[in-house]
Each structure stands twice: as structure tokens, then as C-alpha cells.
Structure 1
């Protein structure tokens, strides 16, 4: 793959700053926090969609997948077979997870409404990380490039989406026809968040600076993407919001300590926050401009996820890892808000991927064409 470093550096202009308005004064949302699990074993990797929460659970000796229905206030195991079942993802009534019982990673698709399960065997070896939206499941190949693959549920077909140029990749995130993911395209620290459109097969990576920014762990809701981002060589990430419809960028956190692993739903963004010396969970409301802690227990709270008025995370206050839930007062729901404060323009680069087999090296080589764009702010 050719390296775009020199041409990109000449093409990128300094970002234009937007006007910063004062945030409105608002009261914090009312939260009700409770544990979902209390078993002394390990419960990890929660995921949530609307009223359903899934996680991996070790109470039976190996990892199983459990589900909790908030509307029914009921917990149930989805797997109890021997071997590890890990890393669940959920969309509506569909749950997908990685099954390692055969010695290689396969995926299992479970329908909560019918109880039916479908086994998906990747064409190439896969990492035990996946995401689902609608009729699509996306995972990461376990080869040295860590390519992205998509599975179409109605047709049962698998397709490679694009190639990575590095031997590491963070989990992707889906929303309708939009996929956001990480890649390593240029230079020793050039991690970028990319936006892939299934209807155009076009990757667009979101550029603020090729030389000094590192973006990781993207999450998406409609046309809003959140990432953890930091200046190089500073190693303390903050949370940033990208509006993919308007090409606007906004910094959400400014604390000098670490803010990790953002998630977004509607007007609300959650993340893992280390400003008090340990891992806590914080919440930001875009409509009110209000930031507040969700939990600040002296133990560690990690890996938050949010859907509608519910936030879930891993919590170690009992000596093991449990799954905790914070429910936001539903009367605090707010309409969609247009970004107006602290926004900046960002740049984007469209990538058109190509693939060719190199017989001399006995492997596929990947290329991409580039088209530069600038936000209109």
C-alpha cells in the first residue's frame, strides 16, 4: 500500500475555529443505580439495546452469555454449553457472540423471540469481536492485516469490506448503512477513525491533523460519532464528537486526566473517566451542556454502554466484576439538539480501496485512491 503521508501533509489546512457560546445552565439528570448481577464470579463485556442487556458470565466455570430484560425484570442464560462464549453484541431481538469451544472463533446468532440459533463460520480466521445492526454482522479477521468482514444475515454471505495496513484494530461500530472503525494508515502514530458507507463502498477518514492526533474506539448513533482522541506525544485522551452530516467536530471533555471508551445514544454521551485517580463513569448531555458523574465509587467502573435511558458498565466494588445499571429519569428525555457550541471544522479524505493478488509474495496487496475534502464551516 502506498503511503499518503507526504501528500496529505501538504494538503491539510489548519482547522477553522467556530464561535464558542456559553453552555446553558441545567440541572443534572436523576439516576437510579443498581447491580444487575451479584454472583461472586466474573461478569464482563456488557452490551445494551433498548430494554435488553447482554454480557459474558463465568458463574458456571466457563464463559456463557446471559441476557437481562429490563421490561420483564428477568435474567436468563442464552448459553450453558462447555467452552467459552464471549463478547456479545445486540440489536433489537438479535444477539451475536463469539464461540471458542471448537478451538477457533465462530459466531453464534441468537434470536431472543424464537430461541433459534445460527452458527456462522468465518471464511478466514476471526478475532472474537463483533458488532451487529439490522441484517449485518461485522467482525475483524485474525490475519496480520486485521481486515473487516461483513455477514449478510438474509443471504448468509460473507464479504471483506476493506484492508487494514496495520496488525491491530479496535472494534468497529454500526448504525444503519454506516460503519465507523479504526485504521493505521500513515506514520508511527497515525490512528484514524474511518467512516464506511455500505451503499457506496467508500471509506472516509476524518482528519484533524495527520501528525499530532490519535483517534481510537469510535462509537456511533445516527450521524454522530464519538471517539477518544489525544495529541501526540501527550498520552491523555479526551472525548470528541464528530457530526458526520455537517462535518463538525466538538471537544466534550477537557480534563487533563484520561477519558476512555465513549458511547453515545441520542443526546447523551458516556465514557470511562480517570479524573479522580480511578476509573469512573461520566455522562454528558448535548442538549443541556451538562456533564455529571454516573458513578464515582473508589473501585473501578469500566466499559460503559448506553441505550435510550439506560447505562450499563463493569463494576468491581464487590471484589469481582459485576454488571451495573444506571437508569435515567425518563422525564429528562430531550429532543434532538443541533450542535452550536465549541465546534470546529474538520477535514475528510475519501478512500477507494483496491485489491490485487501478488503471486511473488503469495498474498493480497491493497491500494487506495484518495480524494480530499474540507468541511464548509
Structure 2
């Protein structure tokens, strides 16, 4: 039955047209369905070509995954452990998930390459909510009667726990580090499992963190709601102040995907914490939640069909202002203008590029303004009117992207 369902779903996906949109700054995105079927599919996680999710359409909870390279849908199952499965995370070809036969929950690890399931925990108390990175699986352990973060190293089968007087939750693993939230204080901590040390990167009320490399992202309390914060483990932090509540952030490279609740409905936002760029792709008027990001692909749960389904979109960031100026320089050279006119225009664009490289946006904007003024003055004279209009439009787009 599962096999027939997969084939029907794969055929549906193959015949579904994708939707595309673009923002005023040149940001473009293309949405695709990942799992659209009867019942509810939700809580997706993505790593490269693999998307995991929880499926409750059969009555029990099952963990499935989709290979985005061919759209094939697979069910993570093992006859030796007939369990309800949920709270899955994926890293490379490893899927960590929570499983239960109706009693205490345990953590399992499924290898996509070998189709082998490993039971990581077996305890009369709950172990839940795993996060996997490479050979490390972090999870919440309640064997002491309080929640603590533990880690299991795949291969050596070594296990250790953070312990301490406070409860910890929401583990996020990256390399040998595990970020977590202290349930008593709201602090965000990072546990270096290799060195056996911990550090506090944020004090006070925060939400569940997500860790990638040397950066951890989390929602933090702010007047009137919560803001998204990226903290560098080496020191320093960047905050995105927005009205209302911003929650459930996930980080990949320079981009953070999160859920914006300021309108009263969850919608996906994307923030480049390095450049400050904020994008709000309007993929659907319905609610998008439980978001995750890998590279330039975002996955999420959407209720547009009256139930919960998994969708994704790939985005193309706008070209940098520096890159756009480079393109404009090429356009000027291609017109075959009189030497003096070309030299004068190129000098202004070269100066604008040089100013941007040292962070002097005011000078760059002034140089672009001078370029626009000269081009306008020569329109219909040394520069054909249609060519001048095209050059001015591109220069104005660059001004908007800086912004000036």
C-alpha cells in the first residue's frame, strides 16, 4: 500500500507546475510541492537533496523522506521496531528521529545509504527530539526526571550528558558543538562535546536555537514580541528588529529562514544577517510554519489545502551592488561611445565600485548620481536616447539595492 501511494504521489509531483515570483530588489524564488497527499505531513527538515517529515495520514506517526533529485518518496521503517516515529532531523544521509511503541520514547538513527536503523537509546524514561550532525546525535534525556542534553557518537557508540541543575531542551548539533536552551533561565548555551566545555552566548529569555558552524540563531525577547538574533561563538551578535513575534529561525550560510507572525498568520521571511537584506516571499496566503533551510532551498509546512503538506522553494539572491556596477560597466563599453564620453562614465562607475569596497556608500551613491546626470545630459546627443534610458534605469536599480 505504501508503495502504491508513493508511485501515485511521485506522478502527481512530476506533473505539477512550479510557481515563480520575484522581488523588487532582484530576489527570485520558485516553489515546488514536496509532499502533497491526504492526511497531514509536517515538521520537515532538509539537508542537501533530502527532506524528512512526519506523516500521520495512516493514523500513526511515520517518518518519511523525499529525495529531491528525483522526487521519490520513502518511508523510514524497520520491522524489528514497530514504532510511532516523529521529530526527525537529517544531516547528509543520516536521519535521527524519536520512536515509541506507546511507552517511553527512544532515539533511532536511519542510514539512507544502507537502509539500516540503529537504536541509539533504550531506557524506561523518554529520550526525544534528536539533532544530527555528521557522526554526532544530540537529544533530550529525561532519565533523571529532568530534561538534560545528551550526545551519542555514531561509530564509537559513546554517550555523554551535559547534566547540571537546570533543565535543557532544544538541542541543535553542528560538528562537535550542541546549542541548547536553558529551561529555567532562558539562556542559550553551546556545549563543546569534544572539549567538555560549555559557554553561554545569550542571557535571558530566548527561544529554541539553531546552530551552524560558528553561528547560532535564536529568537530573543524584544518590546512587543521577539526578534531574531545571530550570535557568533567568537563574539558579537546581530539582531533583526521587526514588529511582532519572529520565531523558529534556522540558519544556512549567511541566510536565516524564520516565521513572521506580525500579520497574525505565520509567513516565511529570509534574512541575510551579513548584508541586512530581508526578503518576504509571499508563497501563499495560508500559514507556513516549521521552516528549515539548506543552502538556497527552504522547506516548510503549509495548510493551503485544508490539511498540512510539505512545500519548498529555491531562491536566487539579488546580485550585489558591486556586481551590478560591473555589469553596467560592461554595458557602457558595449555601446561604442565616443572615447571621452565612455572614459568619463566609466570613471564614475569605477569610483562607485571602489567606494563600495571600503564601505563608503555615501560616496558610491554620489558617483552613481553623477553617472545618471551625465548620461541624462548626453541622451539623444552622444548617447542614443534608448541606450541612455537603459543605462539610467540600471543605475537607479543599483541605487535602490545599496540603498541610496
Bucket of the pairwise TM-score, normalised by the shorter protein: 0.7 to 0.9
Match of 1:310 in 2: 297
Cα deviation, residue 80, structure 1: 7.6
Query: 1:94-173, aligned counterparts within 5 Å?
Result: 94-101=94-101, 103-123=103-123, 125-142=125-142, 143-166=144-167, 169-173=168-172
Per the alignment, in what secondary structure is the counterpart of residue 162 of structure 1? coil
Match of 1:286 in 2: 273
Cα deviation, residue 129, structure 1: 0.7
Per the alignment, in what secondary structure is the counterpart of residue 159 of structure 1? strand
Match of 2:221 among 230, 249, 266: 230
Cα deviation, residue 300, structure 1: 1.5
Report the CA distance shift for 1:218/1:79 in structure 2 as closer, same or farther (over 3 A).
same
Report the CA distance shift for 1:83/1:198 in structure 2 as closer, same or farther (over 3 A).
closer
Match of 1:249 in 2: 237
Give 1 or 2: higher strand fraction: 1
Match of 1:183 in 2: 182
- 8 A Cα contact 1:146 1:163, kept in partner: no
CA deviation vs aligned residue, 1:86-133 (integer Å, no higher than 9, x gap): 111111011111111252212221111111111222446224311111
Higher relative contact order (CA 8 A, sep 6+): 1
Match of 1:203 among 198, 210, 225: 198
- 8 A Cα contact 1:123 1:158, kept in partner: no
Query: 1:6-85, aligned counterparts within 5 Å?
Result: 27-79=25-77, 82-85=82-85
Distance in 1 of aligned mates of 2:135 and 2:278: 35
Cα deviation, residue 330, structure 1: 8.0
Q: CA RMSD in A?
A: 2.5
Structure 1: unaligned runs, 5 residues or longer: 1-25, 335-339, 341-377
Q: How many residues align?
A: 297
- 8 A Cα contact 1:85 1:101, kept in partner: no
- 8 A Cα contact 1:284 1:290, kept in partner: yes
Distance in 2 of aligned mates of 1:151 and 1:332: 42
Cα deviation, residue 158, structure 1: 2.2
- 8 A Cα contact 1:85 1:98, kept in partner: yes
Distance in 2 of aligned mates of 1:289 and 1:331: 13
Residue 206 (structure 2) pairs with residue 215 (structure 1):
yes
Per the alignment, in what secondary structure is the counterpart of residue 301 of structure 2? strand
TM norm structure 1: 0.73
Cα deviation, residue 147, structure 1: 1.1
Per the alignment, in what secondary structure is the counterpart of residue 172 of structure 1? strand
Give 1 or 2: higher helix fraction: 2
Distance in 1 of aligned mates of 2:230 and 2:164: 25
